Amino acid sequence: MKHKLIITYSLLCTLVLFSQENKQSFSLQEAIIFAHENNRNIKNADLNILAAEQQVWITTAQGLPQITGSIDYQTYIKAPFDTANFDLRNPLIFLFPKHNLTPGVTLNQLLFDGGYIVGLQSNKIFLEISKNAKEKIFNDIETAVVSAYNNVLLTKENIVIMKNNINVLSANLNETTKVFENGLIEEEDVEQLQLTLSNLENNLRSLETLHEISKGYLKVLLGIEQKEFIELTDTLESLIINSISSDLVSNDHSITNNIDYKITKNEATSKALEYKLEKSDQLPKLNAFITSSYLGYSDRFSSYVKKEQDWLFNTVGGVKLTVPIFSSFGGKAKRQKAKIEWDIAKNNLTEKENQLELDFKTAKNEYTLAIDTYANKQKSLALAEKIERKNTIKYKEGIASSFDLRQAQNQLYSSQQEYLQAIIDVINKKATLKNLLNLKN
């Protein structure tokens, strides 16, 4: 039995050490940096940029020399004359050889295409769209990490407060029960405390579940597996100190730095280029080519691998000019449609500018209000704690009723929740404002 206990204890120690070694600790700033490097959505955004860079080269390469090789082979299954007696002096052999093999190489070069010129102009905006999409995801993930990190701290702090409230209330209940057993108070006083204690215990179980869920969501944002352990090193009190900044509301910020504005502007530029592309279809297209090939003919296929096989070499060059003449007004409809979509994009850009101006003012006002609310809730919590202590003393002295005590306790519990929520609001409102202003940590 002694050996079993020793083995069990050793296993428990090993598990504890293993979990500590594999536990990752994060401050809020460290969590943001880690998410920027490991979040899967950001990784996909990086891959989209790489794909956009390849697409830029695909577009550019269309106007560069294109070399293709080919081998044409044909055989007459049924010739118009008897090929059994193969005679090179027979002129029909050149027209109807039994076997005909033509290897060749062709060089094509685009000389002029209005669509290609527009495509080159679109390369820059196409790559910029991908980079702005990543920046949008980058900012959104940062804001989400701040919110998720705060939610984990909020539930953790609530659990600590709830356990402390339960301990205090349990002690009061034990004292009240003894007083009731001595017949000095009514049973309702005990029942009031039991009811309050039962509610707190239910809330504690709910908070513990919510804490694990919040931590799981933070792991998703960080790109960490759910089975891994994480520890948060910041506290709500430390974060609130760094979250109050007058510079965010006092300084003027240009809306052109906002990522949503950049994306909307990209859309307008893209639609302008699409309209330009449709107009370029009215222009002629000019291509040049050079083809070199060998022509070999024989009555047997095996002859092509022999040295005595005759090959005829030729080189052909030329240009091809394509001029659009009439498309049954389809081209005109495409151009009008592209122009309409460009006008819509320009209207959206103007609308976005106006909306962002309002969003800036709203976010600054909400951030200022959150700071004021935090200061107010901090004072309210101090008053609620003072009132609860006084009512507890009065209740023990028989001056206050159980109803008065429960009311003071509920007021304290509400003040505690409102104070913590006020901290969260300040931190989240700051993150939202920084995201809107496109400011980095």
Helix (H, G, I), strand (E, B) or coil at 316: strand
Q: Which residue has the higher pLDDT, 97 or 120?
A: 120
Q: Which residue has the higher pLDDT, 106 or 302?
A: 106
Q: What is the 3-state secondary structure (H, E, C) of 414-427?
A: HHHHHHHHHHHHHH
Per mean pLDDT, which range of 36-45, 248-257, 428-437 is the poorest? 248-257
What was the pLDDT predicted at 16?
Answer: 46
Phi, psi angles (nearest 5°) of residue 236: -60, -35
In degrees, rounded to 5, the angle at the alpha carbon of residue 111 between the alpha carbons of residues 107 and 112 is: 145
The string of pLDDT tens digits covering residues 142-181 is 999 999 999 999 999 999 999 998 998 898 889 888 888 8
Q: What is the mean pLDDT of the chain?
A: 86
| Lowest-confidence region among 8-17, 104-113, 248-257 | 8-17
Q: Do residues 312 and 296 lie in contact, with contact meaning Cβ atoms separated by under 8 Å?
A: yes
pLDDT score for 18: 45
Q: What local confidence, expressed as pLDDT, does residue 11 receive?
A: 53
What's the pLDDT band for 211 if we cut at 50, 70, 90? very high
Domains of the chain: 2-34+131-283+354-437 (1.20.1600.10)
Average pLDDT, stretch 240-258?
83
pLDDT of residue 249: 80
CA pair distance 163, 156, nearest whole angstrom: 11
Q: pLDDT tier at 101 (50, 70, 90 boundaries)?
A: confident
Q: Where is pLDDT greater, at 86 or 303?
A: 303
